Amino acid sequence: MNRKQVLSGAILLAVLVLPGIAAPPEGKAASDGDAAIAERWIAAWNSRSPAKMIPLFTDDIFYEDVAFGEVSHGTAELRKFFASEFEGVPDLELKLVRASVHNGHGTVEWVFSGTDKGIYKTGKKFSVRGVSVIDLRDGKISRNLDFYDSATIMRQVGRLPNPASDAK
């Protein structure tokens, strides 16, 4: 099988098996009561203030930024993580794409944009789609896993080359 056939097969698989992956209309928020946490989560990130972030989480929060392998246990570590994010990307902005939270578990899809000041120190803008998987306890987030493609950021800020185009 050549590269084009493999790609066609992967696209077909994605269409048949992963119909929920396509991006919904921007700004589509969740409809159930638990999902209001997603809007508060986005607003807290956009405040760029660790003090506004911390109240959304339980004291024993487990927070993992999977792309960069950053793990925070508890609010003290989480506060340091948020501070480093806001320092590294001072104009950080998250936009809510879609959220689905039911019975204390869900996902928050988002677009993360900003200027790289402290991650790779390039001064270049980037934007990447991602998703957070969250668990809630007593109305607060007790577990948060962030998934996104760090290579996308690296390409946009010039730390990785763009993939070569398919040969025709």
The first and second tokens of residue 34, run together, are 């638990």
pLDDT, tens digit only, all 168 positions of the chain: 433 333 334 333 333 233 333 333 444 444 456 779 999 999 999 999 999 999 999 999 999 999 999 999 999 999 999 999 999 999 999 999 999 999 999 999 999 999 999 999 999 999 999 999 999 999 999 999 999 999 999 999 999 999 875 545
**Whether the model pTM is above 0.85:** no
3-state secondary structure 35-89: HHHHHHHHHHHHHCCHHHHHHHEEEEEEEEEHHHCEEEEHHHHHHHHHHHHHHHC
Residue ranges of domains in the chain, CATH in brackets: 24-156 (3.10.450.50)
Q: Are 68 and 49 in contact (CB under 8 A)?
A: no
Q: Are strands 125-137 and 93-102 parallel, antiparallel or unpaired?
A: unpaired
How far is residue 36's CA from residue 54's CA, in Å, rounded to a whole number?
Answer: 16
Q: Which of 39, 73, 37, 30 is nearest to 56 (CA)?
A: 37
For residues 88 and 116, the answer to whether their CB atoms sit within 8 Å is: yes
